[in-house]
Amino acid sequence: MRTITTVAAMQRLAGTWRRQGKRIGFVPTMGYLHAGHISLVQRARKCVGLEGVIGVSIYVNPTQFGPKEDLSRYPRDLARDTRLCREAGADFLFVPTDAMMYPGKAEGAYSTYVVEETLSQVMEGAARPTHFRGVTTVVAKLFNIVQPEVAVFGAKDFQQAAIIQRMVKDLNFPVRVVVAPTRREPDGLAMSSRNKYLNPAQRAQAVALSQASRQAREIVRAARSPVPAAGLKSRLQEFIQQKPEARVDYIEFFDPATLQAAAQVKPGMQMALAVFVGATRLIDNVRL
């Protein structure tokens, strides 16, 4: 497995592979990998086949963090990530620096960003106003650098995946975006690099996200008519906040195609939620 650290080297290699007729599969990550990430690498291999080339980027992207968020303490372990990618069968690892990805930014010489203006205005976009500008910008740059035919994202970040799919469509990127299922711990908690922040008591409370999602699904599917969203949100918020360190940021029910909020909830809609457990903000979503 090759580790590539410069944009120029990555573009040269990608160009060589494409001229050789090799399909490139790609998994963008911020590192501190877990089994959910590895499942995306395995999915990428299935997409491009044994003759294809698959790779992972590890880059903690500063432009998607707000000024009071956890950029400086986001977990990092490149040696472990490298080992996991090698064991998963990745062919390359792209590990750029901030100076490579945003040349001249500190001096004000970087000023081009990619902005999606509709899907990014709700849920995570409302709670973290600059977040998706950073996501779309870095993913667009990575697509131009790595030149993948297929890129694989996880369904845990449902809104992010929808925005990237919209960006790819609107800007005519020649990339197929594949969204793979959320991987979960045995007790239902969605796998996330930020789970590392939780102490044992908080980790036990964090399962409330998946429990609330399961409750919502059961309620909606058992109802004979659409369920009022406001009442269901209140019920789920009360359930979650019974946990002593849990605080709901948002709970939303929406059309999975448009991300538009629904006043009445019925099967087939999507539910997303963000919850602080202690100082750690966790997200999850489920199809109802």
Q: Which residues are catalytically annotated? A: 37
| Alpha carbons 139 and 157: distance in angstroms, whole number | 14
**Six-digit token pair at 93?**
């690892």
Residues constituting the chain: 288
What burial letters (b/e) apply to 209-224, b meaning 16+ CB within 10 Å?
bbbbbebbeebbeeee
Count of C-beta atoms within a 10 Å radius of residue 23: 17
| Alpha carbons 195 and 197: distance in angstroms, whole number | 5
- Residue type for position 69: E
- Torsion sign, CA atoms 77, 79, 82, 86: negative
